[in-house]
A = this chain, B = another copy of it.
């Protein structure tokens, strides 16, 4: 894994309320809001995602979606290719990382899995064919 983090996802109970906070209080304009489920802020190729807590809990494989049952945060490393995700998980597995979700095709057309660090912090390693990786390792977020 190259030394970079490309995305942080914050679980939110109410997406509209969370988007309003980041837009009106913090002052950042969302790059896109997908239905009532997820919002992305493009911070010059570093992505801040707000995702419904239940969806995030389900995605990371948390047993229950209740508040307090899991840390509603995930860090992500966006790989440059489908194959790179496999290479990374193979290496993580060899080195003893706890892989909580082996990489698999996702319903949004990507390929993604999760591992956790020794303290239970979740890391996603994903390939998103719609988000090319720039030369500098950040995301070339699609413009509308």
| CB-defined contacts of A12 to chain B, threshold 8 Å | 117-119
A75 CA to B72 CA, complexed, in Å: 13
Q: Is A13 an interface residue (CB 8 A)?
A: yes
Partner of A43, one of B4, B13, B21, B92: B4
| CB-defined contacts of A101 to chain B, threshold 8 Å | none
Q: How far is the CB of A5 from chain B (nearest CB, A)?
A: 6
Chain copies in the assembled complex: 2
Nearest neighbor of A75 in chain B, beta-carbon distance? B8
Q: Number of residues in A with C-beta < 8 Å to the partner?
A: 43
Tell me the chain A residues, 128-144 only, with Cβ under 8 Å from chain B: 136-137
Partner of A48, one of B5, B17, B46, B118: B5
A119-B73 contact given A43-B4, A92-B25, CB 8 Å threshold? no
Digit string of A91-102 for contact with B (CB within 8 Å is 1, else 0)? 110011100000
Digit string of A103-139 for contact with B (CB within 8 Å is 1, else 0)? 0000000000000011101000000000000001100
8 A-B residue pairs with CB within 8 Å: A3-B43, A11-B119, A12-B119, A22-B117, A44-B137, A71-B71, A71-B73, A73-B121
Across chains A and B, which 8 residue pairs bring their CB atoms closest together, nearest first? A25-B95, A3-B43, A73-B73, A12-B119, A25-B97, A3-B28, A10-B121, A4-B43
